[in-house]
Structure 1
Amino acid sequence: MTETQNTGGVAKIAVIADENDMRLDRWFKEHYPDVTFGMLQKLLRKGHIRLDGKRAKSNTRIATDQIVRVPPLNLETRIYAKKPEGELSQDDIYYMQNMVMHIDDDIIVLNKPSGLAVQGGSNTNRHIDGMLSALKYDLTEKPKLVHRLDKDTSGILIIARTRVAAQKLTKAFQTKTTEKYYWAVVKSVPKLREGKINMPLLKQGRKGHEKVIAAPTGENASEDAKSAITLFATVSSVPALASFMVLRPITGRTHQLRVHMAEMGNVIIGDGKYGGTDAHIGGEISRKLHLHARHIKIPHPSTGEIFEITAPIESHMKNTFHSLGFDEEAGDLVMERFENR
């Protein structure tokens, strides 16, 4: 970064070319990692942080040569800065590196386990974002998140190794040039074997305790509702008990697949948040969420060619497949049908 002025502890920093179109909160995370998201929001609300002399929001996109005004954070440690995090343990490093399915100069692909959060939040101290330094390998730059999975969803999580790769991957996710395929085991048997769900969604509740609902329509429609589209196909079923499904989200809303399945009357097994006690079928079937990010196709940030990868399912889903007689190869064949549409 280029510091153009530092007066009375206030820094004015010019945005460099590699940071063009980066969100302001991500820029802060790069340059001031000890400032938490909540602290950043407070600084922005009070106008202590400015962009070209004007107030800004955390999601503001910055541009080359713009000037970011940063208040004297080091002089106000008790208010704005958190204590430096300790170094990762060898167990954490091994844990993270053991998830890696693919690594090259630009990206790392993890097979994230169910139960591990991608980012921190209320009562969440251990998460992938806090352990990314374990994946530096031969680089000095810490890898960067470019998308998320729910804490209880397992499967493919792509990490960018450089800032330039992060920009390109983030754009690929935002512009829908990425194809994502999920496997789910749901309650009962869907009325339609395959189809499309076009159901806008709405977030409710305070931060850290949000719940997503199907957005009301007509007179009760909300301006905050977001478009949400999911393609689905049933691979196989055990009548009146459960079904193995392939889901392809066209949009990427929070809890989209979970809410769409619940609203369709086929809650994902293990999803107590949206299905309550009905989300569990008992017996030897695990109470864990049965939702797995199985396959992804995305333009590679270096070559632009389509990169694709498949993640093996976790043991609890393997056990369910075995108990209910579901065939993984059949699921992959259904995914191929989606791809050829």
Structure 2
Amino acid sequence: MQRIIGGKPGGRPKAVQPPGTVPGPAALPAVARVRVDEGSEGQRLDNFLLKLFKGVPKTHVYRVIRSGEVRVNKGRAAADTRLALGDEVRLPPVRMADRSAEPPAPAREFPVVFEDEHLIAVDKPAGVAVHGGSGVSFGVIEQLRQARPAAKFLELVHRLDKETSGLLLLAKKRSALTALQDQFRSRETGKTYAALVPGAWPANKKVIDVPLHKFLTAEGERRVRTVEVDHDQARRSITLVKVAKKFTDFTLLDVTIKTGRTHQIRVHLAHEGHPIAGDAKYGDFALNKSLARGDAVPGHKFPRMFLHARRLRFEHPATGEVIELEAPLPTECEALLKVLR
């Protein structure tokens, strides 16, 4: 088993090229044909098209597939058809959003914890989204693609909230992406987070098994809430909690998730009466303001959420070797704990 803490073994492998897009203006005025390269090999047809047809509504993409206007090797294909290397895909004329006026994401590298020819693990800072969308122009994935223009393939394996720092996996080959996502779906990975909560967490409270429901607010913002087991949209969600350190007014927790629901840790801890310090969506807003001003912990300002993905364990997608990665607490989190001690 490889166990890596805040570093990477060996040198960097040779760079490869990011996933391609349809060249040209904001519309395909005529039929176009593209070849499937190694970056798209094994991808579903619908996902392949959604990536190519930026700005085209999903309903239209599925409509042109059902109508037979999209062809694979001159034959009709279903949305779930898996593409093979060298396949020819016929693209019908479609109108796409004009993105020529949008500035490209700035190139940026992030601290590398592990990297080889199959995957890369970075230590994401708090305040950086993992991808663009929902009012965010760009995130880690877009910035890394700009920083590595020769990369043939670079995709997120999983996600972290914008406000959460820590370990984030990206795949450099489609085979690695599918293998790692299968592990995440089957809960064969170990993800542990450090979370600071106000008050004294009861030591005997080790398992939170409370269903969650994702919904949109009236303003269109994505939120999550706990619901009863018999709720028609309840999704079972399990979080394991261990007390790592007790302070006078706070508790540092080691939190492991057995299910990967949106905002799971944040909602579960808030449900137990101990919201994460600095959580702007589910937290104690008066406490958050006091922390940011430096009043809650005299002389120390803490303006972020204290949630950090500190450990990640998985099987290497190519070798099967167990890899265990660790990302130390960010400087601002360590500084807060030092004052609390």
TM-score by length of 2: 0.76
Deviation by residue 1:74-129 (Cα, 9 ceiling, x = unmatched): xx24xx453376555xxx43x32x42222111111110000000122232113112
**CA RMSD of superposed structures (Å):** 3.2
Counterpart check, 1:172 vs 2:188: no
Are 1:50 and 1:69, in contact at CA under 8 Å, matched by a contact in 2?
no
Question: RCO greater where, 1 or 2, for CA within 8 Å and sep 6 or more?
Answer: 2
Percent identity at matched positions?
Answer: 28
Counterpart check, 1:109 vs 2:121: yes
- Please, which of 222, 225, 230 is the counterpart of residue 234 of structure 2? 225
Q: Which 4+ residue blocks in structure 1 deviate beyond 6 angstroms?
A: 12-18, 51-54, 65-69
User: How far is 1:23 from its partner?
Assistant: 4.9
State the AA in 1 paired with 2:31.
Answer: G
Partner of 2:254: 246
Partner of 2:309: 293
Partner of 1:317: 333
Counterpart check, 1:262 vs 2:270: yes
- Supply the distance in 2 between the matched residues of 1:17 and 1:277 (Cα, whole angstroms): 44
Partner of 2:60: 43
Are 1:13 and 1:69, in contact at CA under 8 Å, matched by a contact in 2?
no
User: How far is 1:17 from its partner?
Assistant: 11
Pair 165,136 (structure 1): closer, same or farther in 2 beyond 3 Å: farther
Partner of 1:57: none
- SS, match of residue 282 in structure 2: helix
Deviation by residue 1:160-190 (Cα, 9 ceiling, x = unmatched): 1111211111111111111101001011111
Counterpart check, 1:9 vs 2:31: yes
Partner of 2:99: 82
- The structure that is helix-richer by fraction is 1
- Supply the distance in 1 between the matched residues of 2:247 and 2:141 (Cα, whole angstroms): 39
Pair 189,164 (structure 1): closer, same or farther in 2 beyond 3 Å: same
Are 2:121 and 2:168, in contact at CA under 8 Å, matched by a contact in 1?
yes
Pair 205,180 (structure 1): closer, same or farther in 2 beyond 3 Å: same
- SS, match of residue 122 in structure 2: strand
Counterpart check, 1:235 vs 2:253: no
Are 2:193 and 2:308, in contact at CA under 8 Å, matched by a contact in 1?
yes
Deviation by residue 1:219-246 (Cα, 9 ceiling, x = unmatched): xx4322211111110112123x110000
- SS, match of residue 258 in structure 1: helix
Pair 237,7 (structure 1): closer, same or farther in 2 beyond 3 Å: closer
Pair 84,42 (structure 1): closer, same or farther in 2 beyond 3 Å: farther
Are 2:128 and 2:162, in contact at CA under 8 Å, matched by a contact in 1?
yes
Are 1:147 and 1:158, in contact at CA under 8 Å, matched by a contact in 2?
yes
Pair 16,291 (structure 1): closer, same or farther in 2 beyond 3 Å: closer
- Supply the distance in 2 between the matched residues of 1:216 and 1:126 (Cα, whole angstroms): 36
Deviation by residue 1:283-337 (Cα, 9 ceiling, x = unmatched): 3251310000000011111101111110121122111111112xxxxxxxxxxxx
- Supply the distance in 1 between the matched residues of 2:278 and 2:46 (Cα, whole angstroms): 34
> Gaps (5+ residues) in structure 1?
55-59, 326-341
- SS, match of residue 181 in structure 2: helix
State the AA in 2 paired with 1:211.
Answer: R
After the TM superposition, which residues 65-76 of structure 1 pair with which residues of structure 2 at under 5 Å, given as runs? 70-73=91-94, 76=95
> Gaps (5+ residues) in structure 2?
1-19, 21-27, 71-78
